[in-house]
Amino acid sequence: MTSAEWPLWEVFVRARRGLSHLHVGSLHAPDAAMAVRNARDVYTRRGEGVSIWVVPSDQITASSPDEKDAFFDPAGDKVYRHPTFYEVPAEAKHL
């Protein structure tokens, strides 16, 4: 019989309507249905959510493996993408 560990799932919870699902942690479960049930018991014992997503951890593709800055460097020197880059006279309202 199988002695292998149950697969790992990442759990995302929507705290209430109008908010995105947020990553809250992970758990082991044999299948998706059990993962959702276990996630309810582990992560929403006090009404912390109205909706749960579970995703097999090995299905997540991440950006740079070591979370180094290079991947995000292209955004680093583009300060003109921010509204605060632009100076406008104080009398120009609603800008």
53 binds other proteins, rule: CB under 8 A: no
Look up residue 95 and give its two tokens: 């800008």
62 binds other proteins, rule: CB under 8 A: yes
67 binds other proteins, rule: CB under 8 A: yes
CB 43 within 8 Å of CB 52: yes
Contact region for other proteins (CB under 8 A) — 12-20, 23-31, 74-82, 84-92? 23-31
Task: Convert the chain into a string of H (helix), E (strand) and C (coil).
Answer: CCCCCCCEEEEEEECCCCCCEEEEEEEECCCHHHHHHHHHHHHCCCCCCCEEEEEEHHHCCCCCCCCCHHHHHHHHCCHHHCHHHCCCCCCCCCC
73 binds other proteins, rule: CB under 8 A: no
Binding residue for other proteins, selected from 15, 21, 26, 40, defined by CB under 8 A: 26
70 binds other proteins, rule: CB under 8 A: no
90 binds other proteins, rule: CB under 8 A: no
- Residues near other proteins (CB under 8 A) are 1-6, 8, 25-28, 30-31, 34, 41-42, 45-46, 62, 65-67
